[in-house]
Structure 1
Amino acid sequence: MAGLNAEKDVNPSSQPSAEKTLADFDPQKKPKRNKFAFACAILASMTSILLGYDIGVMSGAAIYIKKNLQISDTQVEILAGTLNIYSLVGSAAAGRTSDWIGRRYTIVMAGGIFFVGALLMGFATNYAFLMVGRFVAGVGVGYALMIAPVYTAEVSPASSRGFLTSFPEVFINAGILLGYVSNFAFSKLPANLSWRFMLGIGAIPSVFLAMMVLAMPESPRWLVLQGRLGDAKRVLDKTSDSKEESQARLADIKEAAGIPQECNDDVVQMTKKSHGEGVWRELLLHPTPSVRHILVCAIGIHFFQQASGIDAVVLYSPRIFEKAGIKSDTDKLLATVAVGFVKTIFILVATFLLDRIGRRPLLLSSVAGMVFSLATLGFSLTIIDHSHERLTWAVALCIAMVLLYVATFSIGMGPITWVYSSEIFPLRLRAQGASMGVAVNRVTSGVISTTFISLYKGITIGGAFFLFAAIAAVAWTFFFTCLPETQGRTLEDMEILFGHFIKWRSALKEAKLKDANAKAKANANGAETQSKAQIQLPTSSVAITSA
């Protein structure tokens, strides 16, 4: 009896051990969204409102600036589009600044610079004064565009990085909508006051944004590069889904930064601080095959995002609706509010799909929708242009295609550009690599927005959109051929996907095969551990019974 009772006592104690061993290899549940990382991403990404507001508000303000200051269409083009060129200064400087003073204080700088620019534009007395304000605001926009996605990518856990890194695009769209609403709200004021209120009111949110950002922690990856391992660990503990993930992320960052794993917060003096020295040499002069592939993908996706005409549609939507047959200024501004609303709704949809569907499927379906809508918009505008009477169906089709275009852009091409380019660069190259992508983005946007009126006067407005449709078709081919899927990969594990250009699929298969082999080996070890536990069980029972 004693032996039987002892055996009963032993079996239950050993069973949980075996069950635990098996449970270790069960599929893990999707972790809950990290609220602290979510809050950090929200605060950092809100700086992107600055660009969106400026794009949206200038589309309507230009109508009243032209009337009040008596400027030409060419001057309107320069006024509207050169902010994107000026933002090059900010995006180029932001890479080095963020490596020097940190990601967080760079975001504060972006808000401060834009504040000054908005005030200068609001109080401008002539065209030259207005252009000075545009330059200052453009520098602030460049800082914000580069740093927000980089900070968000570095602070986000892998499980929700796509969702969180899409927030800058969400807030760009929110800013555009606010700009459109501001246009409509101030449109009833006299012409000499309306555009000043439209532009100057942008100074208010920039102050609050700069103050709120001070409550954020610094990027853990930047902290590691400065040798502040203890601070980095504390941030990672807060922004990771689990303690184990926090430890793994810290180990990966150390490895990427070239810091020995045995270094910790007690031996910080052993680590080498980095302020971005030698990065341009690694990016441009002597890049590895993987870095070269990454650079081509980052520059390519930024170029095609703007070359497919999004700023032409958003910035000149009142003119497009005028060409479609809407004559009243109020009706045109009201139609642009609808554009901003649709754009914002669909970017919100995209944020929830990025980590579920993946980057490639969303991007390719988005660009395919853009090709269709741009071609159909070109067709409808051409029909209207050659008709001597009002064609209601063509006007309705034109408006529907503008809305479809901004919807398909926002569900993929818009957010994925910022997500993808901020997550694929290696740690040391990330800030300045991302700034190169933003620079290309702003140059292309500047060229499109400063030449659109001249372009449609030269090849007709329908021809301009046929051209954008052709560029979008080339973009689809480039994305399908060269861009690998990055969903679920850690930032330190990206380089394995790159370096083969059009042959990236074979490299991905090899990586998946290695992962499968590693899991199979882990399962085999687990099964062996379980078998040993079952063999040891009767032995212990016999020993107790004999006793």
Structure 2
Amino acid sequence: MFFRIHGMRISGVAIMLALVASIGGFIFGYDTGQISDILIMNDFKLRFATCQNAGDASTCEFSVVRAGLIVSLLSIGTLVGALAGAPLADFLGRRYAMVVDCIIFCIGVIIQISSTTSWVQFAIGRLISGLGVGALSCAVPMYQAETAPPELRGTLTATYQLFITFGILVAYCISIGTRNIPSGGSWRTVVGIGFLWPVLLSVGILFMPESPRWLAAHHRNKEAQHSLARSAGVPIDQEETDVYVQNELDEIVKSVQSQNQTRATWTDCFRPPRKILYRTCLGITLQSFQQLTGANYFFYYGATIFSSVGISDPFITQIILGVVNFVCTFGGLYVMERFGRRIPLILGGVWQAIWLFVFASAGTAKVPQDNPNIGKLMIVSACLFILGFATTWAPGIWILIGETFPTRTRAKQGALATSANWTWNFLIAFFTPFIDKAIQFRYGFVFAACNLTAAVVVYFFLYESAHLPLESVDDMYNDPQCKPWTSRRWCPPGYTNREEFLETMSKKSRRPLPGQATLNDHKGQKNRDQEDTTSSGSSGPMDGTTGDTATNAAA
């Protein structure tokens, strides 16, 4: 089964593998969303908080240290899991690594639901679950980027973030439905349902093809060819003659051979040649700023925040935020595919800063508990902040982690970048109760400043990688004539502009029905490409401002 999109044949398998792998994002989102509501459930407070009157949940409160640890130990687990997930994904392959990650997550769930009176046990369970979540956050975007067609890589990779938001929303909805279950059923049901998602991922991913780039890197070219054919909807008996499959395989193998294919070490991620160090630092910075936008301030502590502004039912407010987050992420799929990566991230940073300034100013100007309109304004500004985040920084960073790094070091660089995300995730989750107690809603000003800084970083350091094949992204970063702010116009040598290059790639991707493309067509196309390159010399992209032709030489 396949679909035609803009004349390109996209296999149903290519779409399914992105959706199945994205269940890893759902696991992440579900675990993130559940804890905010669990912290205010009566039975949970009676068991694990400090109570002045035994049996009276209204007198039970978590200390800032205890609340911070219960929430944030998940992030410590994810930090370690992200670092461990890279070598695991390189050793076992992307699919089998996900299966192992799911097993680890389930062990953590068992520890949590078996807790009775020890909050430490519950927190350790979240720590163990975090190991699995962190490893999945490394493996899933990488797998999606390596298997998705270049024309839809942004959309399919962004489904990871879409499923994160869906997981958060589902957690909110289940929590409001279970909050009145007597005894420990209220919170144990929420946590226990978490078993379902890793089972679906573990089973489903085994029916999907392995990453062709991982297979080629391990000298399993025949299997890489079969993986490409499955993703393209090409029957097994026509793999050898399909022009698209052979073109893609040639490009991947060529890229693998051009790199030193000894096993990458962590040290290799910090080597300056070929801008490896540059991209490692860029990935770490972008993932850090995704947390510093302030989104998890609302997702982790939203119920507590809106209780403090006088909202009678904070569970409902959380669901409103969850719906906004989920629905707007659909817009993010379109935005990232239509407008690329740089412009949405820059504008998103500015938009988010504006509404955080409004949120913080409103909460600081008057006491929200005494001014219902102030509380409403804060909810509206929080929703508009989430709208910007869901359409830009939420999906955009996970897309970039999958497509910015070269094949040889992609897993480890992705792990380092993702671990930075989880480090800040932990810091925000743990220290928010302390900071909120000290400066209250002025905390929003801190996040607003971070958003503006993030927009500046994107402008000066991030290259535009939308729609380019992964191998061409590597070439772009190593072109000395290309700068981040001119990278939207970059194209490989032999083309006058990016539009011409993408059109050529699109024609190659408009593969006919299986059997209509032959190996002779493939060889003829290769000869024509070589003639075109020879006749065009070393000319590079036209500079849209001056009209001068820049020479594209890979460093």
TM-score normalised by L of structure 2: 0.81
Supply the AA of the counterpart residue of 1:105.
Answer: Y
Deviation at 1:34, TM superposition (A): 3.0
Supply the AA of the counterpart residue of 1:308.
Answer: T
Do the aligned partners of 1:95 and 1:432 also contact (CA within 8 Å) in 2? yes
Alignment of 1:9-408 (within 5 A): 29-64=6-41, 65-70=44-49, 71-125=62-116, 126-190=118-182, 192-240=184-232, 243-258=242-257, 277-284=263-270, 286-326=271-311, 328=312, 331-385=313-367, 390-408=370-388
Do the aligned partners of 2:463 and 2:483 also contact (CA within 8 Å) in 1? no
Go from structure 1 to structure 2 and tell me whether the alpha carbon gap of 1:509 and 1:369 turns closer, same or farther (over 3 Å shift).
closer
CA distance in 1, matches of 2:7, 2:350: 31
Do the aligned partners of 1:317 and 1:336 also contact (CA within 8 Å) in 2? yes
CA distance in 2, matches of 1:201, 1:513: 53
Which deviates more, 112-121 or 464-473? 112-121
Alignment of 1:402-481 (within 5 A): 402-460=382-440, 462-481=441-460
CA distance in 2, matches of 1:407, 1:29: 29
Do the aligned partners of 2:435 and 2:443 also contact (CA within 8 Å) in 1? yes
Deviation at 1:46, TM superposition (A): 0.9
Residue in structure 2 matched with residue 537 of structure 1 by the alignment: none
Identify the structure with the greater helix proportion: 1
Deviation at 1:240, TM superposition (A): 3.9
CA distance in 1, matches of 2:465, 2:483: 15
Supply the AA of the counterpart residue of 1:51.
Answer: F
Deviation at 1:33, TM superposition (A): 3.6
CA distance in 2, matches of 1:68, 1:95: 38
Supply the AA of the counterpart residue of 2:28.
Answer: L
Deviation at 1:90, TM superposition (A): 1.1
Alignment equivalent of 1:504, drawn from 484, 490, 495:
484
Do the aligned partners of 1:47 and 1:148 also contact (CA within 8 Å) in 2? yes
Supply the AA of the counterpart residue of 1:455.
Answer: I
- Counterpart secondary structure, 1:201: helix
Deviation at 1:488, TM superposition (A): 1.6
CA distance in 2, matches of 1:379, 1:191: 41
- Counterpart secondary structure, 1:299: helix
Go from structure 1 to structure 2 and tell me whether the alpha carbon gap of 1:92 and 1:478 turns closer, same or farther (over 3 Å shift).
same
- Counterpart secondary structure, 2:463: coil
Residue in structure 2 matched with residue 488 of structure 1 by the alignment: 467
Deviation at 1:510, TM superposition (A): 6.1
Deviation at 1:241, TM superposition (A): 8.4
Structure number with higher relative contact order (C-alpha < 8 Å, ≥ 6 residues apart):
1
Which deviates more, 61-70 or 309-318? 61-70
Q: C-alpha deviations, 1:64-84, integer Å up to 9, x for none?
A: 333432242320111101211
Q: C-alpha deviations, 1:148-196, integer Å up to 9, x for none?
A: 1000000011100000010110111111001111210111123543122
CA distance in 2, matches of 1:517, 1:431: 31
Go from structure 1 to structure 2 and tell me whether the alpha carbon gap of 1:517 and 1:433 turns closer, same or farther (over 3 Å shift).
closer
- Counterpart secondary structure, 2:102: helix
Q: Percent identity?
A: 26
Go from structure 1 to structure 2 and tell me whether the alpha carbon gap of 1:233 and 1:259 turns closer, same or farther (over 3 Å shift).
farther
Q: Give the root-mean-square deviation of aligned CA atoms.
A: 2.6
Q: C-alpha deviations, 1:314-346, integer Å up to 9, x for none?
A: 1100112122221x3xx1011101111110001
Q: C-alpha deviations, 1:203-238, integer Å up to 9, x for none?
A: 122222211111111111111112111111111123
CA distance in 1, matches of 2:7, 2:401: 25
- Counterpart secondary structure, 2:392: helix
CA distance in 2, matches of 1:505, 1:94: 33
Residue in structure 2 matched with residue 17 of structure 1 by the alignment: none
Which deviates more, 50-59 or 497-506? 497-506
Go from structure 1 to structure 2 and tell me whether the alpha carbon gap of 1:33 and 1:381 turns closer, same or farther (over 3 Å shift).
farther
Go from structure 1 to structure 2 and tell me whether the alpha carbon gap of 1:253 and 1:334 turns closer, same or farther (over 3 Å shift).
same
CA distance in 2, matches of 1:504, 1:51: 32
Supply the AA of the counterpart residue of 1:302.
Answer: Q
- Moved >6 Å (runs of 4+): 517-523
Supply the AA of the counterpart residue of 2:29.
Answer: G
Do the aligned partners of 2:169 and 2:323 also contact (CA within 8 Å) in 1? yes
CA distance in 2, matches of 1:99, 1:54: 26
CA distance in 1, matches of 2:79, 2:273: 26
Which ranges in structure 2 are unaligned for 5 or more consecutive residues? 50-61, 235-241, 505-527, 533-555
Deviation at 1:294, TM superposition (A): 1.5
CA distance in 1, matches of 2:162, 2:304: 25
Do the aligned partners of 2:9 and 2:232 also contact (CA within 8 Å) in 1? no
Q: C-alpha deviations, 1:47-79, integer Å up to 9, x for none?
A: 111110111100000113334322423201111
- Counterpart secondary structure, 2:409: helix
CA distance in 2, matches of 1:191, 1:55: 23
Larger Rg: 1
Do the aligned partners of 1:157 and 1:241 also contact (CA within 8 Å) in 2? no
Do the aligned partners of 2:491 and 2:497 also contact (CA within 8 Å) in 1? no
Deviation at 1:498, TM superposition (A): 2.0
TM-score normalised by L of structure 1: 0.82
- Counterpart secondary structure, 1:258: helix
Do the aligned partners of 1:323 and 1:381 also contact (CA within 8 Å) in 2? no
Which deviates more, 390-399 or 241-250? 241-250
